[in-house]
Amino acid sequence: MIKKRIIPCLDIANGQVVKGVNFQDIKTIADPVEMATYYYESGADELVFYDITASYENRGTMIELVKKVAKSVFIPLTVGGGVRTVDDFDILLKSGADKISVNSSAIANPNLIKEASERFGAQCVVLSMDVKRVNGQYKVFSKGGRDETDLDAIEWATRGVALGAGELVINSIDQDGVKKGFDLPLLKAISAVVNVPIIASGGAGKIEDFITLFNETDIDAGLAASIFHSKEVSMTALKLAMKQAGIPARLAYMPPLKWDANGLIPTIVQSDITQRVLMMAYMNETSLRETIKLGETVFFSRSRQELWHKGATSGNTQVVTDIRYDCDADTLLVKVKENGPACHTGDYTCFGESPDVFEKLFETIIDRKENPIEGSYTNYLFEKGIDKILKKVGEESAEVIIGAKNSKQELIYEMSDLFYHSFVLLVNEGISLNEIKKELEGRIKPRK
């Protein structure tokens, strides 16, 4: 089965990586070579570089930057922005680019697609389309999303492929930077009329958006910028989630780690549910590869001098949701969804800590969603869906008001019901308890 690709997008302006919302409010965020290297080492499948103001400002392409990036990364590199002629294709490909993306220049001169495809092959020609809904119709925009054209997006995609484009990048201006998910109706409409790979762009806000994209469409790749640049989502966490969802993804890579004299690296294991540190163990290169392959923690036992698959005999496995390394690359942080206690003594953690009642409740609700139990009220709510859950949250909110008027004990009872149903809502929407904690922490103002 062909693996789905995950592609970070680096928008370039004045030689720096920038990001905006709906193609506006552009802000500088990083050095492009450093960021490209980081993504390569993190396991990205490809990289896309867009000089987002090249067409608008009538500037040439970023040849020197392409050369520097090509020397640092060894995954496919697509470059776009300011490409106006077949000679521009030639220069960029010789500088280290694998594919060239055209947008505004192809709109102005559609024959550029045909000429480049005939000279370099369709696999080198990527037609990028900036699309926005206008009066119910998908319209193509040029000049970095600034100028509306009279082109219908569906018709332009069909024509571009007929001219020789070997791949399409569909950028949804409506979804760009807002983190509310990919524009599935647009993507489905275009994929229904072309037979080349399509890269979806615009709207990714969380891991679940990629899972939905690949489960509900036949799109070949997901492209994003904000959530990767901010490190809200790591490449490893996304690839592991895809694996667990049955979506084919490339997982076999090894980050640049500093192993000790015995070929080991200390590994901190943290609950992705309660955020508690569960244990500390060691991995070697083989156990790390097995962990990535299996999606569950595999350590190296120093006492037994052998690999140790956590929970293989006890059943207390740890499903890996993310793997990161520290600033010195000599310690790993592995986030997991734990199935049972981490410690051999039966304690929740190897440090004698236990989750508080809110964490326990939240963990139980997550478990009910992932492992349904017949007759469970929680599973009943999940089965009925968002409307039923929202109705219950509304009812419990009203009952809290009534309870507060009656007695302290009734208020406690009704507030507990509200907490429970609110947690069900959060789990249903893929929001972690930690995200709520972070939001609340940001609202606490220090005493002056």
Do 189 and 59 lie in a common domain?
yes
Task: Kindly tell me if the per-residue pLDDT of 22 is higher than 70.
Answer: no
Does this model's pTM top 0.85? My answer is no
Do 269 and 331 lie in a common domain?
yes
Do 61 and 157 lie in a common domain?
yes
- For 363, phi then psi, to 5°, come to -65, -40
Q: Report CA dihedral (236, 237, 240, 244) to the nearest 10 degrees.
A: -170
CATH of the domain at 28: 3.20.20.70
Domain closes at, from 213, 244, 275? 244
Do 270 and 195 lie in a common domain?
no
Residues 6+ apart with CB under 8 A from 334: 267, 268, 269, 270, 291, 297, 318, 320, 322, 323
Q: Report CA dihedral (418, 423, 424, 425) to the nearest 10 degrees.
A: 90
Do 35 and 144 lie in a common domain?
yes
Inside any domain, residue 40: yes
pLDDT-based confidence at 97, cuts 50/70/90?
Answer: very high
Inside any domain, residue 344: no
- Residue 59: predicted pLDDT: 47
**Rg of the Cα trace of the chain?**
25
Do 193 and 324 lie in a common domain?
no
Do 188 and 134 lie in a common domain?
yes
> What DSSP state is assigned to residue 445?
P
Active site (annotated) includes residue 11? yes
d(CA 174, CA 153): 14
Active site (annotated) includes residue 322? no
Of residues 45, 51, 88, 130, which has the active-site annotation? 130
CATH of the domain at 384: 1.10.287.1080
Task: Kindly tell me if the per-residue pLDDT of 223 is higher than 90.
Answer: yes
Which single residue is written with the structure tokens 């492209």? 223
Domain count, the chain: 3
Mean pLDDT, residues 361-373 taken together: 90
- Residue 54: predicted pLDDT: 60
Of residues 11, 88, 176, 220, which has the active-site annotation? 11
Please say whether the beta carbons of 264 and 288 come within 8 A: no
111-150 tens-digit pLDDT: 999 999 999 999 999 999 999 999 989 999 987 778 888 9
Which of 107-121, 335-349, 428-442 has the largest mean confidence? 107-121
Instruction: Kindly state the percentage of the chain with pLDDT values over 70.
Output: 94
Please say whether the beta carbons of 69 and 47 come within 8 A: yes
Domain that holds residue 299: 265-338
Inside any domain, residue 28: yes
The number of residues making up the chain comes to: 448
d(CA 240, CA 294): 9
CATH of the domain at 281: 3.10.20.810
Do 191 and 317 lie in a common domain?
no
Do 119 and 59 lie in a common domain?
yes
Do 154 and 21 lie in a common domain?
yes
Inside any domain, residue 348: no
43-74 tens-digit pLDDT: 899 999 988 666 444 444 478 888 999 998 99
Q: Report CA dihedral (433, 176, 10, 152) to the nearest 10 degrees.
A: 150
Please say whether the beta carbons of 28 and 17 come within 8 A: yes
Do 334 and 361 lie in a common domain?
no
Do 105 and 191 lie in a common domain?
yes
- Residue 360: predicted pLDDT: 86
